[in-house]
Amino acid sequence: MKEVRLEPEEMSEKKLEKTCPTCFEVPIGPIHPALKEGIRFTFWVEGEKIKKVDIRPGFMHRGIEFMGTKRNLVQLIYLAERICGICSVSHPLALVQAVEEAAGIEVPPRAQYIRVIIGELERIHSHLLWAGVAAHELGFDTLLHYVWKVREPVLDLLEDITGNRIDYAIPIYGGVRRDIPPEKYPKLKDALRYYRSLVDDFVNFFLRDPSIEARTRDVGILTREEADVLCAVGPTARASGLRKDVRQDWPYFTYPDLEVKALTPEDMGLEVRGDVYDRIVVRLLEVVQSIQIIERCLEEMPEGEITSVPKVAALLAQLKKAEGEGIGRHEAPRGEVIHYIRLEADKEAPVVWKVKAPTYSNFMPWFPMFEDQEIADIPIVAASIDPCICCMERVYLVRGEREEVVWKEELLRLSREKTKRVASRLARHAPWGRKG
Amino acid sequence: MSGLNALWQAILVLVGGGAIGFLYKGLDRKLAARLQGRIGPPLRQPVLDVVKLLLKENVVPRTAVPWLFQAAPFLAFVAAVTALLYLPVGSLSPVLHSYGDLVLLLYLLAIPALAMAVGGFASGSPYAVVGAQREIVMMMSYEFPLAIAAVGIAWRLSTLGIGPSFSLATIAANPLWGLVGPLGWIGLFLLFVALLVVTPAELSKIPFDIPEAETEIAGGLLVEYSGVNLALFYLADVIKTLVIAGLVVALFIPYGIAAPLGIAGIGGKILDILFFLVKLFAVIFVAVTVIRVAFARLKVDQVAKLYLLPTTLISLAGLLLLVLDKVVMGG
């Protein structure tokens, strides 16, 4: 296994100057046409080859978690929806699972099916959006325009079902806010048939196109071991041959009945190489998988209630009494999203709300991917994990001018110090500490 | 007297060439948009773009070498415009036909690219430096097939005793296709293919727009240019597109339609000019518009491999066939 090294001295510029005197620095970002959001890559390149990379996030921090603790739990859903414009149902789905676990709310089966259908429709539109962006990063604008054009029907469908193209406002604690009436089924089935008929085109345009293959094969390789060690999630992990999918490993909603399997390029009869091409393959396979899931959901969906607590006032009252903590996980199009919530009785707002977006896990795999690539590969490798920087940002320095990077050892030392401090305070103040 | 005459002709060619260049640029953008399923900008958009650029502030970065940075766009523009004057239009001889030949035209065509590279290096931006390095690598890859195609045709003409063989007017007036045997015909066809493949590279269009590569190096060579300087580069590109297409037409499809139709005099000349414009458009549409919507951008090493090997081999094979044809036909 290739050792993944991210030690402070490895990154130091001084050492690089010694080993590579002809290297020069190419900053990409925070504002750059290859990036859709602000993040700064600093590349040290020799000619066209990348020798080292440093990545600095922190430009897009919005303090959403803090804002969440100032709102009641129903308002929180709509805030969670706005964490990410593309995974706009994934974050609420993870949040409602967390709150339902904390407050012990049951969800009727029909609502679970509807959640799955909306989640999978979102996966289709997100993967299509990604495919367009990837084509644009490769300078293939024709494909961008084509893919985004065929993405429109699924957005129209979502608007028809939920009332909105992007932020659907569908999940609520205990169920969903809107039913999918049987008269809408034909429309859904038509759309699914349409996307099924497009799959061959996608295979031709993306996987058999010589210029795309030339730009993506053996580019941005993430080996299986690296993906495992660096905790890659979602299509990024699966393209490296890691069969990892929340829907398979920790099934929720109706996924246990649907027997969802994590897909890797092997499922298309290809050898796993863990490059950008494989990431295209996996996303394409997942579009097909989502179509199958929705079709099965439409067949198996039972009649019944769509929420266990239909009145919002009653729901809020019940949530106000709730006390406890919960974790919600959902396989978003980009990978696993986790929400942690802590509720206290007589408080409308959550005490703690922690969000982990998939890009947070897929951030570290960027380092091995960029190793020894060329400048021309930067946009497509950066885009290949389908990054969502805003969703990922956690910290930004607002006071003081001193910026410093805290490494793993330092973090460990700081956390041990804090544990000691807390322990000693407990020893002084806690009732069991006063004995002596 | 002839000097004054040449001046008038030159002004006519430049104004006409500029107008046609803008028209074709607009058509290229519109047709590319239609091929991509978009509506596309109006035909006059290139003119609007240039007018806007001329009104904008001209920023010279602090890290740049100012005089070199400012001189590069001017150089590119002047070289492109001068090259236009060496182009035979329809059945008319080039304006400057007595002052230079095909070899000079090849050099003039290389200048805008070189000027862009120099401007890129002088602008002091890492993106522009990367772009300039790429431009130089590209030039080394595409100039050789281009030179082979041009020299091959001129040499074959000279073996046929037609001269001055390096004059574009002579080449345009004596289409080689009818003068060579079957081997030479195949050879000419190979050279034609090589030149068509070289055209988008010469113009830095997708899949060969790597020196500018918007998503990679944010415009590369041009990243620091603005205002008048950027407008000059834009104009140089517009004119250079015409010149390259005109070169392809003059070397390989110089036929007129006035003579076969039996129309003489002014009417015939005008008809030939119109037909020449149609041929120009056909070359631009095939070699620039269609290719740039059909491919992804290549990497610089892939371009070097694609050119240094296959295109050079194709053009060398074409040259070899022309030589064999001379041996077979006895010249």
- Asked if the Cβ–Cβ distance from A135 to B296 is below 8 Å, we say yes
Nearest to A26 among B130, B210, B299 (CB): B130
Using an 8 Å CB-CB cutoff, list chain A residues near B293. 141-142
CA distance A147 to chain B (A): 11
A25–chain B nearest CA distance, Å? 7
Instruction: Considering only the beta carbons, identify the residue of B38, B127, B298 that sits closest to A214.
Output: B298
Which B residues in the span 165-194 are in contact with A, Cβ-Cβ below 8 Å?
none
Asked if A212 lies within 8 A of B296 by C-beta distance, the reply is yes
Nearest to A142 among B134, B210, B294 (CB): B294
Interface of A with B in 20-59 (CB under 8 A): 24-27, 32-34, 45, 47-48
Decide if B297 touches A, using CB distance below 8 A: yes
- Which of B126, B214, B298 is the closest to A26 by Cβ? B126
Taking CA atoms, A156 is separated from A114, A166, A177, in Å, by 17, 10, 19
Percentage of the residues of chain A whose pLDDT score is greater than 90: 22
Q: What is the 3-state secondary structure (H, E, C) of chain B?
A: CHHHHHHHHHHHHHHHHHHHHHHHHHHHHHHHHHHCCCCCCCCCHHHHHHHHHHHCCCCCCCCCCHHHHHHHHHHHHHHHHHHHCCCCCCCCCCCCCCCCCHHHHHHHHHHHHHHHHHHHHHHCCHHHHHHHHHHHHHHHHHHHHHHHHHHHHHHHHHHCCCCCCCCHHHHHHCCHHHCCCHHHHHHHHHHHHHHHHHHHHHCCCCCCCCCCCHHHHCCHHHCCCCHHHHHHHHHHHHHHHHHHHHHHHHHHCCCCCHHHHCCCHHHHHHHHHHHHHHHHHHHHHHHHHHHHHHCCCCCHHHHHHHHHHHHHHHHHHHHHHHHHHHHHHCC
Cβ distance of B301 and A374 shorter than 8 Å? yes
Tell me whether B130 touches chain A (CB under 8 Å). yes
State which residue of chain A sits closest to B205, comparing Cα positions.
Answer: A139
The secondary structure of residue A336, as a DSSP letter, is: E
Tell me the per-residue pLDDT of B262-303, one tens digit each, with 9 for 90 and over.
777 777 778 878 888 888 888 888 888 888 888 878 877 777
Are B241 and B25 contacting, i.e. CB atoms less than 8 angstroms apart?
Answer: yes
Interface test with A, best of B36, B216, B223 (most A CBs within 10 A): B216
| Count of domains for chain B | 1
Residue B17: count other Cβ atoms within 10 Å of its Cβ: 21
Distance from CA of B6 to the nearest CA of A (A): 43
Confidence check: pLDDT of A96 > 90: yes
* Pairwise CA distance, residues A110 & A175, whole Å: 8
Instruction: Say whether residue A137 is in contact with chain B using an 8 A CB cutoff.
Output: yes
List of chain A residues whose C-beta atoms are within 8 Å of the C-beta of residue B134: 48
How much is the ipTM here? 0.75
Q: Supply the pLDDT for residue B119.
A: 87
Range of the domain at B157: 2-329
By C-alpha distance, the chain B residue nearest A145 is B36
What is the per-residue pLDDT across A106-153, written as a single tens digit (0 to 9) for each?
Answer: 899 999 999 999 999 999 999 999 999 988 888 888 888 999 989 999
Task: Determine whether the interchain pair A149/B37 forms a contact, defined as Cβ–Cβ distance below 8 Å.
Answer: yes
Q: Is the pLDDT of residue A5 over 50?
A: no
For chain B, say whether A142 makes contact (Cβ under 8 Å): yes
Interface touch B130/A48, C-beta < 8 Å: yes
| Most confidently modeled range among A41-50, A205-214, A323-332, B118-127 | A323-332
Closest to B300 (Cβ–Cβ): which among A24, A145, A376?
Answer: A376
Q: How many CB pairs under 8 A join A and B?
A: 83
Q: Is B39 on the interface with A (CB under 8 A)?
A: no
Read off the pLDDT of each residue in A309-325 and give the average, rounded to a whole number: 88
Question: Which chain B residue lies closest to A379 (C-alpha atoms)?
Answer: B216
For residue A31, the chain B residue with the least C-alpha distance is B218
Report the range of poorest mean pLDDT among A162-176, A278-292, A392-406, B146-160.
A392-406
The 8 Å CB, 24+ separation contacts for A258-262 are A258/A116, A258/A293, A258/A296, A258/A297, A260/A289, A260/A293, A262/A238
pLDDT category, A8, cuts 50, 70, 90? very low
**Predicted local confidence at residue A92, as pLDDT:** 93
Closest CA to A378 of A29, A37, A129, A113: A29
User: What is the mean pLDDT for each group of 10 consecutive residues in chain B (331 residues)?
Assistant: 70 84 90 88 90 88 85 90 81 68 84 87 83 84 84 79 71 72 80 85 78 72 86 90 87 75 75 84 87 81 76 84 75 49
CB contact under 8 A, B215 and A33: yes
Q: What angle do CA A280, A283, A287 make, to 5 degrees?
A: 135
Q: Is A204 on the interface with B (CB under 8 A)?
A: no
Predicted confidence at residue B194, as pLDDT, reads 85
Task: Kindly report the backbone phi and psi dihedral angles of residue B174, in degrees, each rounded to the nearest multiple of 5, phi listed first.
Answer: -125, 80
Section A187-210 average pLDDT = 88
pLDDT, residue A9, reads 47
Strand partners, A405: none
Domain annotation for chain A: domains and CATH numbers: 64-389 (1.10.645.10)
Q: How confident is the model at residue A1 (pLDDT cuts 50, 70, 90)?
A: very low
